[in-house]
Structures are given as C-alpha cells and as structure tokens.
Amino acid sequence: MLADRTTLARFLNDERRRHPDAVGDLNSLILDVAIACKAIAGRVAHGALEGVLGAQGTVNVQGETQQKLDVMSNDIFIRATEWGGQVAGMASEELDDPYEIPAEFPRGKYLLVFDPLDGSSNIDVNVSVGSIFSVLRAPEGAAAAPTADDFLQPGTTQVAAGYAIYGPSTILVLTVGRGTHAFTLDPQLGEFILTREDIRIPESTSEFAINASNRRFWEPAVRRYVDECLAGRSGPRGKDFNMRWVASLVAETHRILTRGGVFLYPRDTKDPAKPGRLRLLYEANPVAFIVEQAGGAANTGHERILDVVPTGLHQRIALVFGAVEEVERVAKYHVENVDTGVDTPFYSTRGLFRATAN
C-alpha cells in the first residue's frame, strides 16, 4: 500500500524539514525533473511504435549526430522546468549556449544542467539509456540573466544531482548531499517510490569497465592498471577480474551502485585536442557527486573530479569512478607514471620480470 511506502515527494519533504529556512524551491525543481524523466521514460518505452528512433539529421555543439530522442528529451526537460520559478537558467548537452528562461516566467535561484538522454546511440539496440542532471545555485546577481560563466562552478558547489535510468524499470537515483538514494517508478501509481536508501559502494571490487578498443591510445598508467587486472590470479593483483563495457554512462554508474566496480574513461591520445571524452558539468560532476555520497571515489586519474574548476560549458574531462581502492590505485599509477615503452606491466620497473642491475 502507498501508506507503507516513501514517495519521492515525501522523501524531499522530510529532507526539507532538516532546513527550517528552506522554502521548498529545490524540492519543486527536483519534482519537475522527475516529471520530465517520467515523460522521457514513456517515449523511450514506445520507441519504434511512435517513430522516435533514428537520427534527427542535426549535430550538437560537440559535433555529435543528434538522435530524434535526444532532441525530444531536451525539449521535455526544458518544458517541465522552465515555468516554475525555481531556475534562473539551464544548460544542456544539446544546446550550444545556456537556455534563457522566457520573459513570461519567473526566475529562481538555481541553475539546472543536464544531459537529457545519455547513451542515445544505443537506443536502437534497446540498451538502457538515461538522463543525468545537476543543480547549482545561481551566483548572486545572476538570476536575472545568467551567462555561461555563471555555470562554471566546481562540482563541490552542487546542491543536488541525479540520473534516471530507463531499463526494465525506470529508476531515479538522487543525492541532495545526504547520501545517495534510489526511487523506482511505480507505473500504476505514476510515482517514484524509495526502494534503496543510503546506497554504499564496496571499497574493493573484482570488476572494471573500460573501452578496450582504445588501448593503443591510453596513458601508460591506464595500460598498466588494465594489464594487471587482465593478468588475473597469476598476475601482480593475485585475483581474477571481470571486464564490462556498456557505452552508456548511466548504465555503467547504475551497475557500480548496484554491485560495485570501477569505471574508466581515461584521457588518451586518440584526439589530443580533447582532455577527455565525457562532459564535466552535466556528466562527470553529477556522477562524481552521486558516487562520493555513496562512499565511492571519482577523479581524472590526476585529481578529484569535484575540485576541478570548469573553463567551458561543454568542457570534456577524463573520468575514473567507483570503488575507492581501485580509483586510488589508478591515481597512484599516474603519479608513478611507469613508462618503459613496453605494453605489459610485467616488464616494467615494478613488474614480475623487472630488469636487475649487472
């Protein structure tokens, strides 16, 4: 019965009571985002039945081909959140510049950034996709007309972050800075119900995710880490690892929050002009916030993600997140930067077959 369950609205209301001065604007914004996620879930579920699969015939600011559902999801996010008076402006993966709230709507004290449909390149093969969002405070004086610079805040300033995953069930994962929690959409009630409270990521794991086809472009530290994992029980790690790769950040994040693991999308030399593949503001930052609130860690391989000060609205960055022990090990290997010109760590200065002095 509904009386025995905690809805998203009730959860947010309980959180607001911890802050007597709060007026409920953040709650209202998150609930509007949840409405957008419900609407997108419906469109994703109908897929080819509504003719929403396939390319739109346009490209976004990153030069990526937009899918029909990318554009549709972006519009749903905007329409669900622009009118309520909680946001001063928005930024999206699908828009070159910040979205300006129409003059007929009141402006609020928050900035909303989002990837409306992460993993959309997989939608035609029915792989789980999702939406990612982050809420920031609008700088003082910026509420009237925020500029792109007003969005360039480090991840530590996030007020809330979350994602929705559209799979066998629709799940909204959320943090407002007090743990990470999951809400499952009850299709009969049309409500998100709290189903996992205070999610914790195990500190150690035997599962990692990386796109191994890019191996030839990796930095030496990443090659060393992956090679040691693949060496298994007979290698320096002394245990077997499983490798995963879904090519959907939301799906990868959800797997790690569900059963642990580590995800790597490292910086590489495939395109030297790009310091990474994922976007800092609306992918890496919200995921890092969610993961840290679940007891995990997230960094670039060199520094904590949430400490990075953005320099551009669509800035790309490397991302390693998940089990603390593994994330710290990757960072440690970057510091040591063992590069002997040999692909396998077994022949490095710290390897099993390290060279000895004559």
Instruction: Tell me whether residue 93 is annotated as binding.
Output: yes
| Gap between the Cα atoms of 211 and 185, Å rounded | 31
| Gap between the Cα atoms of 36 and 32, Å rounded | 6
Question: Using CB atoms within 10 A of its CB, is residue 127 exposed (0-12), middle (13-18) or buried (19+)?
Answer: middle
| Gap between the Cα atoms of 313 and 302, Å rounded | 21
Instruction: Tell me whether residue 14 is annotated as binding.
Output: no
| Gap between the Cα atoms of 258 and 253, Å rounded | 9
Sorted by sequence, the CB contacts under 8 Å of residue 166 that are 6+ apart come out as: 40, 41, 44, 45, 128, 129, 130
The residue to which tokens 């960094």 are assigned: 299
What stretch of H or E contains 194?
Answer: strand 191-196
Instruction: Tell me whether residue 283 is annotated as binding.
Output: yes
DSSP 199: -
Instruction: Tell me whether residue 120 is annotated as binding.
Output: yes
User: In degrees, to the nearest 5, what angle opens at C-alpha 93 toward C-alphas 322 and 76?
Assistant: 105
| Gap between the Cα atoms of 304 and 257, Å rounded | 19
Q: How far apart are the first and last CA of the chain?
A: 76
Instruction: Tell me whether residue 21 is annotated as binding.
Output: no
| Gap between the Cα atoms of 315 and 210, Å rounded | 21
Strand pairing of 207-209 and 262-265?
parallel
Helices (H), the chain: 8-16, 25-46, 68-81, 220-231, 249-259, 285-293, 324-336
Question: Using CB atoms within 10 A of its CB, is residue 140 exposed (0-12), middle (13-18) or buried (19+)?
Answer: exposed
66, 75 in Cβ contact below 8 A? no
123 by DSSP, 3-state: which? helix
Instruction: Tell me whether residue 204 is annotated as binding.
Output: no
| Gap between the Cα atoms of 336 and 349, Å rounded | 11
The residue to which tokens 């009730």 are assigned: 10
Instruction: Tell me whether residue 128 is annotated as binding.
Output: no
Which residues define the annotated binding site? 93, 115, 117-121, 211, 283
Q: Return binding residues for Mg(2+).
A: 93, 115, 117-118, 283
Binding residues for substrate: 118-121, 211
